[in-house]
Amino acid sequence: VRVHDLSTPALLFDADALEHNLATMAAVRPGPALRPHVKAHKCTALAREQARHGHTGFTCATPREVVGLAETGLGDDLLLANETLDPHRLRAMADAPGRVTVAVDSADTIDAAVANGIAEVLIDVNVGLPRCGCPPQEAGRLADAARARGLVVRGVMGYEGHLMVIEDAERQRTEVAKAMDLLLQAHADVGGDVVSAGGTGTYAIHDRVTEVQAGSYALMDTYYAKLPLPFRQAHFLETTVISANNEWAVCDAGLKSLGMDHGNPAIDGYVVWFCSDEHVTFAPAEGSAIPPPGDRVKVIPAHVDPTITLHERAYVVRGDDVLDTWPIDLRGW
């Protein structure tokens, strides 16, 4: 099968760029020093590639990701780096064929874990992102409460998501150090072997955690491309030009095939004007020609995670050859 024969919009994974990204990360954060976040790709076939590169523990955002990985034999050490109180989903994770650890940040999440058969937890600590996580000074008390209920507390996690994209590298380093001071202060009270934090924007500057939770590095996007990271763009939308005139052209991706919270996607050599449900309107830059209807155009998404989740499958490609088809099988909750 050839890329130009695929119906569009089609999600493409560039095999060589993906391999470069996985190998580059594994060289800096080998084996358990990286716990890849699967929410970025929601694809067990891609997770299997990450395992082949040495990372056999995974970070998940949803119970579905945990259960799906466990059922395909990738359940060595799965972390739900997120809170849930849902008894059905907690039970499904407890019954899954793998080792499952869930994040807790309150007496309520501890109660729900105990009541539904979860054995191991991490204390989730707020290190500055106003989202989940207990105040650092409450972490020890929560760990004691969890242990008193029979849970194994493996350590702490603290995701510094507000610091992922800071273009001034020195400022980023300083801010991340302050956030990690909070996490280590909590860890001193909690104990355990695991100190988990970080993402694609900070993976290289962590020196006091046991593992980094990066996900976007595998496929990248234009948002992370603002930073001088060594990773390559590895996913694209193959689209077809469906209308054109002498000022602009329109291709058949849009809001329903692209995550848009980081703004418009990019097209090399063109300026994207705007996206509608099923259209991207774009015009030439740098003297490029307006493509006629029927031409193919590669659209580069601005945010990988919410783009991937809109697609049922990805085509793994090298040039115009389709090498494989990978289901995006960890979608849903």
Ligand X SMILES: Cc1ncc(COP(=O)(O)O)c(C=O)c1O
Shortest gap between Cβ of 197 and ligand X (angstroms)? 8
Report the number of secondary-structure helices (H) and strands (E) in the chain. Answer: 8, 15
Shortest gap between Cβ of 133 and ligand X (angstroms)? 9
The residue with its CB nearest to ligand X is: 199
Shortest gap between Cβ of 164 and ligand X (angstroms)? 5
Place of tokens 């763009």: 233
**Interface residues toward ligand X, by CB under 6 A:** 37, 40, 59, 81, 159, 161, 164, 199-201, 213-217
> Quick one: 224 or 326, whose CB is closer to ligand X?
224
Shortest gap between Cβ of 158 and ligand X (angstroms)? 9
Q: Which residues contact 103 (CB under 8 A, 6 or more apart)?
A: 79, 80, 81, 82, 83, 109, 121, 122, 123, 124, 132, 157
Which tokens belong to 321? 């050859």
Shortest gap between Cβ of 196 and ligand X (angstroms)? 8
> Quick one: 155 or 201, whose CB is closer to ligand X?
201
Shortest gap between Cβ of 238 and ligand X (angstroms)? 23
> Quick one: 37 or 154, whose CB is closer to ligand X?
37
Which secondary structure element, helix H or strand E, spans residue 12, and what is its range?
strand 10-14
Q: How far apart are CA 279 and CA 142, in angstroms?
A: 49
Q: How far apart are CA 72 and CA 68, in angstroms?
A: 6
Q: Which residues contact 79 (CB under 8 A, 6 or more apart)?
A: 35, 57, 58, 59, 60, 101, 102, 103, 122, 157, 196, 213
From the number of C-beta atoms within 10 Å of its C-beta (0-12, 13-18, 19+), residue 276 rates as exposed
> Quick one: 121 or 241, whose CB is closer to ligand X?
121
> Quick one: 59 or 109, whose CB is closer to ligand X?
59
> Quick one: 43 or 280, whose CB is closer to ligand X?
43
Query: How long is the chain?
Result: 333
From the number of C-beta atoms within 10 Å of its C-beta (0-12, 13-18, 19+), residue 111 rates as middle
Shortest gap between Cβ of 225 and ligand X (angstroms)? 13
> Quick one: 215 or 254, whose CB is closer to ligand X?
215
